A and B are shown apart, each in its own frame.
Chain A
Amino acid sequence: DAGITQSPRHKVTETGTPVTLRCHQTENHRYMYWYRQDPGHGLRLIHYSYGVKDTDKGEVSDGYSVSRSKTEDFLLTLESATSSQTSVYFCAASSADQPQHFGDGTRLSIL
């Protein structure tokens, strides 16, 4: 949707391993977001970015870090994955005052 690509789309990994999810956008949106989707919780904001190298924490940021070295790329890293981080992760991007455009999601399973 609106040029938002997430990779990988699916990943299975083991507890304690590092994991990086990538979000790439082609529309030059200033703002980018990482959410996780869990049953009964809807979408919860992990981290967001309001410009290159400008990021801030969301509701559920513990155990996650992000980086944005270019406008088009927003990376989400789990330094040491835990089973509680098994979830579906969505990336989104927007321009000021506009709705967010979402990627297709990454299904992450941590065993």
Chain B
Amino acid sequence: ILNVEQSPQSLHVQEGDSTNFTCSFPSSNFYALHWYRWETAKSPEALFVMTLNGDEKKKGRISATLNTKEGYSYLYIKGSQPEDSATYLCAPSTGGFKTIFGAGTRLFVKA
């Protein structure tokens, strides 16, 4: 079973601030890493799928990087907006379909 750690557990920022979170996972047997965004009272939605060491993905103001050799991924949000408030989950996998989710980083963006 993968040991997935996300930090920080929660984060409070002001509108316009840029922020980043970390997902750490065992580097052995790595296959892919998924990032999800989870808004309160909704279901998780996929942001990125990353597979290669050095991968960088971007979606609007959100971007992510991947280091499979050292076992971590960063998620960045540039110019945070209140609508970015959500829990961000990472989910690495050692196979094609089975993933283990981290506990998430809960982001609060104050207007």
Contact surface of A with B, Cβ cutoff 8 Å: 1, 30-31, 35, 40-45, 48, 50, 59, 90, 94, 96-105
Q: Interface of chain B, helix or strand or loop or mixed?
A: loop
Q: Closest A residue to B93 by CB, please name it.
A: A97
B43 near A1 with CB under 8 A, answer yes
Decide yes or no whether B102 CB sits under 8 A from chain A: yes
Residues B10-48 near A (CB distance < 8 A): 32, 34, 36, 42-46
Provide a sorted-by-A list of 14 A–B residue pairs whose CB atoms are within 8 angstroms.
A1-B43, A1-B45, A41-B103, A42-B101, A45-B99, A48-B97, A48-B98, A90-B43, A96-B97, A97-B49, A97-B96, A99-B34, A99-B36, A102-B45
CB–CB B103/A98 < 8 A: no
CB atoms of B100 and A59 under 8 A apart:
yes
User: How many residues from B make CB contacts under 8 Å with A?
Assistant: 21
Residues of A within 8 A of B89 (CB): 42-43
Question: A59 to chain B: which residues have CB within 8 Å?
Answer: 1, 100
Query: B residues within 8 Å of A by Cβ?
Result: 1, 32, 34, 36, 42-46, 49, 87, 89, 96-104
Distance in Å from the Cβ of A74 to the closest Cβ of chain B?
13
Q: Within the complex, what minimum Cβ distance (angstroms) separates B51 from chain A?
A: 8
The 6 closest A-B pairs by CB, nearest first: A99-B46, A102-B43, A42-B103, A43-B101, A31-B97, A96-B96
Assembly CA distance A104 to B43 (angstroms): 5
Cβ–Cβ contact A105 & B43, under 8 A: yes
- Centre residue among B43, B45, B46, B102 by max chain A CB count within 10 A: B43
In addition to A59-B100, A97-B97, A98-B49, 5 A-B residue pairs with Cβ atoms within 8 Å of each other are A40-B103, A42-B101, A42-B104, A48-B97, A102-B45
Return chain B residues, CB-CB under 8 Å to A104: 42-43
CB nearest to B51 among chain A residues = A97
